[in-house]
Amino acid sequence: MTGHEHSSADDEALVRAAQQGNLGAFEELVARHRDKIYARAFSMMRNEEEALDLSQEAWVKAWQRLAQFQRESSFGTWMTRIVINLCLDQLRKQKRYRTESLEAIDEESGGVERQMPVLTVNPTERLERAELRQRIEIALDQLSYEHRTVLVLHEFEEMEYKEIARVMECSIGTVMSRLFYARRKLAVILSDLKKDEAT
């Protein structure tokens, strides 16, 4: 049976069938959640090829560990956690080979973001959705992986500070500082403050 033949079943029924070895049911689950899983990998990695590889790897891992899925959360949430863990592992590996820049060290110490002036108008108010998307993408690209990851886990995955601290293996204070920096930088890019300042 192919995945298309399972299109009317709900996630729970598909998971049950897949746990009994039904690959067609699993294909339908992949089809339903693949965009969300890829989007999360892309938000964290900022690289299309890596995001594709890691989301594919997440699906293979999910199939191998399907027996461990106890339905404590939704299947989508369980899958998202798998891809997040794979991305974190990959980012940690990459960090080992990357030299910390002076800017990154300054960001880490949490000093820069506190000096930036607070924006008094809603920077997103006059932006079209497409432009807003583009600026968010630019901002995410410009953030270091530590700041971006904290932002993604908090804003997209809706994790609490302590949970982020646990998965990122750092203190809650560091999480708060990184999140603050990431948001302030994002606000600046959204409002295009730098361009205004230059003119």
Partner 1 sequence: MMDGDVQIKLQSFVDGELPEGEARAMANLMAQDREAAALVAELKYTRQALSGHEKGVRLPESREFFWSKIQREIERTAPVAPVPRPVSWLVRVRRILTPVAAVAAVAIAGFIATRPASAGSGVETSLSDPGAFTYRDFASGTTLVWLSYPAEDTLADGE
Site residues (vs partner 1, CB under 8 A): 3, 23, 27, 30-31, 34-36, 38-40, 42-43, 48, 52, 55-56, 59-60, 63-64, 110, 114-115, 118-120, 122-124, 132-133, 136, 151, 154-156, 160-161, 176-177, 179-180, 183-184, 186-187, 190
Residue 40 vs 149, nearer CB to partner 1: 40
- The two tokens of residue 57 are 């790897």
CA dihedral 154, 158, 164, 167 (to 10 degrees): -120
**Nearer to partner 1 by C-beta: 99 or 117?**
117
- The number of angstroms, rounded, from the C-alpha of 111 to the middle of its chain's C-alpha atoms is 25
Rounded CA separation 128/163 (Å) = 34
CB of 26 to partner 1, least distance (A): 8
* Choice between 88 and 176, CB closer to partner 1: 176
* CB of residue 27 to partner 1, shortest distance in Å: 5
* Torsion sign (Cα): 113, 116, 120, 121: negative
d(CA 7, CA 27): 10
User: Minimum Å distance from CB 177 to partner 1?
Assistant: 7
The residues, ordered by sequence, that sit 6+ positions from 162 with a Cβ below 8 Å of its Cβ are 172
Minimum CB separation of residue 152 from partner 1 in Å reads 9
State the nearest-atom distance from the C-beta of 49 to partner 1, in Å: 10
Q: Which of 42, 19, 38 is nearest to 30 (CA)?
A: 38
In the complex with partner 1, the residue whose CB is nearer, 36 or 81, is 36
- Tell me how far, at minimum, the Cβ of 56 lies from partner 1, in Å: 6
Pick the closest to residue 141 from 45, 41, 37, 38 (CA basis): 45
Residue 144 or 184 having the CB closest to partner 1: 184
Integer CA distances (angstroms), 197 to 47, 121, 134, 184, 194, in order: 30, 16, 20, 16, 5
Which is closer to partner 1, CB of 5 or CB of 95? 5
